Amino acid sequence: MPLITITDSFGSNGIEIAKRVAEELGVEVFDDKRLQWMVSELEMPSGIGHDFDKHTPGFWERLLSRQPLVFLEAMEAAVYDISRSGDGVIIGHGSQILLRDFDCAFHVRLQSDFMARVNNLVIQQGMNLVAAADLVANSDINQKGFFQYAFQMDLDTSSLYDLIINTGKMKTGTIADLILVAVQSEDIRSPFTSPVDPFN
């Protein structure tokens, strides 16, 4: 079974979809909280000093803003440690790039129209429309900015992903089922062999 990385845009129900996929497959979800715990268990770079409490909310944001290179080193260590187990669902954190050359990894991109994501927050969390729009807009800027800084690539480069899904078109259960069909297909379970080029 491959590792699955899910890269979502804020408000696209990525965490719920990831949890449904993981539950069906019987594997673990590696979200912010789980990855944060892993950092506390792994031997991390010396740059993570005593002023960083690895167990508190906002750890990733503080580490990224104050020591971005240490953040990347910690993130790489955690993601590579997950890859050794061979299964699981990793949410974000550049995992689609860090595991890009791993044949065992299946990369999913979840995205949706800006207003669809804003409306999700309004409906699901009872947020004010303006506040929800600001939150989604700022999240998009920060996510794309981090990705450009960390990997010198556009987050929405289609070649980074094996499956791209518009979450505004389907319910979360349908999307989870679509991912499950893909990762459990014979195409994914068996090594892919490129066709022979008849002109060479």
pLDDT of 11 over the 60 cut: yes
pLDDT at 18: 95
Please answer whether residues 43 and 144 qualify as being in contact, where contact means their C-beta atoms are separated by less than 8 angstroms: no
Residue 49 lies in a domain: yes
CATH code (residue 136):
3.40.50.300
CA 87/CA 83 separation, integer angstroms: 7
Cα pseudo-dihedral 106, 99, 34, 166, rounded to 10? -40
> Does residue 170 lie in a domain region?
yes
Residue 174 lies in a domain: yes
Please give the residue that has the higher pLDDT: either 163 or 40: 163
> Residue 195 pLDDT > 70, yes or no?
no
Q: Kindly state whether residue 179 falls inside one of the protein's structural domains.
A: yes
Its domain, for residue 160, covers: 3-188
Asked whether residue 6 carries a pLDDT value surpassing 50, the answer given is yes
Task: Note the pLDDT of residue 51.
Answer: 47
Region 138-147: what's the mean pLDDT? 87
For the chain, the average pLDDT equals 80
pTM for the model stands at: 0.79
pLDDT band, residue 132 (cuts 50/70/90): very high
- Inform me whether the pLDDT recorded for 197 exceeds 60: no
What's the structural domain count of the chain? 1
Q: Tell me: the pLDDT tens digits for 28-87?
A: 999 877 877 777 666 555 455 444 444 444 555 665 555 566 667 777 888 888 888 778
The reply to whether 194 falls in a domain is no
Quickly list H helices, 67-171. Answer: 68-85, 95-98, 114-125, 129-151
Where does the pLDDT of residue 194 fall: very low under 50, low under 70, confident under 90, or very high at 90 and above? very low
Q: Is residue 196 part of a domain?
A: no
What is the per-residue pLDDT for 53? Answer: 47
Count how many Cα atoms sit within 13 Å of the Cα of residue 171 in the half-sphere of its side chain: 2
Q: How confident is the model at residue 200 (pLDDT cuts 50, 70, 90)?
A: very low
Q: What pLDDT is stored for residue 149 in this prediction?
A: 82
Q: Following DSSP, what letter does each residue of 43-76 receive, concatenated? A: ---TTS-TT--TTSTTHHHHHHHH-HHHHHHHHH
Residue 195 lies in a domain: no
The most confident of the ranges 83-87, 90-94, 178-182 is 178-182
- Asked if residue 62 belongs to a domain, the reply is yes
